[in-house]
């Protein structure tokens, strides 16, 4: 993985920490990839099966196809980097490109 990706991940993690993100709990981390066609996106999505994984495929306005993979895990720099590399190995053969990752902020349950 290139160092620029590493830097982006580091700064995102720093912002999450500043925002009071709870790193002691597992969270759904979203990983994103874009594909030129629906078939590739759906085939790649089919490679991800498991209780802690949820893959969603949708068409974008520009005609490309978007794969959003949600993985329940700890938000650590190493863990995210390792999964991003594994994700890339799966999506690349189907013409997919990894577009990074993010976390949907969960609302605290009152």
Look at residue 4 in the predicted model and tell me its pLDDT: 65
Q: What is the pLDDT of residues 74-87, one digit of tens each?
A: 999 999 999 999 99
26 vs 5: CA distance, rounded Å = 22
Strand partners, 109: none
pTM of the predicted model, to two decimals?
Answer: 0.85
44 vs 64: CA distance, rounded Å = 14
Q: CB under 8 Å, gap of 24 or more: what pairs does 50-59 form?
A: 54/28
32 vs 84: CA distance, rounded Å = 9
Look at residue 49 in the predicted model and tell me its pLDDT: 81
In angstroms, how far is CA 33 from the centroid of its own chain?
A: 8
- Quickly state the pLDDT bin for 51 (edges 50, 70, 90): confident
């Amino acid at each position: 993985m290139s160092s620029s990706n590493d830097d982006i991940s580091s700064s995102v993690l720093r912002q999450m920490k500043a925002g009071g993100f709870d790193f002691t709990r597992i969270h759904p981390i979203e990983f994103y990839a874009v594909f030129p066609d629906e078939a590739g996106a759906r085939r790649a999505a089919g490679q991800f099966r498991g209780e802690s994984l949820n893959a969603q495929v949708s068409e974008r306005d520009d005609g490309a196809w978007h794969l959003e993979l949600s993985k329940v895990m700890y938000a650590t720099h190493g863990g995210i980097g390792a999964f991003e590399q594994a994700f890339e190995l799966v999506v690349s053969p189907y013409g997919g490109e990894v577009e990074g990752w993010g976390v949907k902020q969960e609302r605290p349950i009152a």
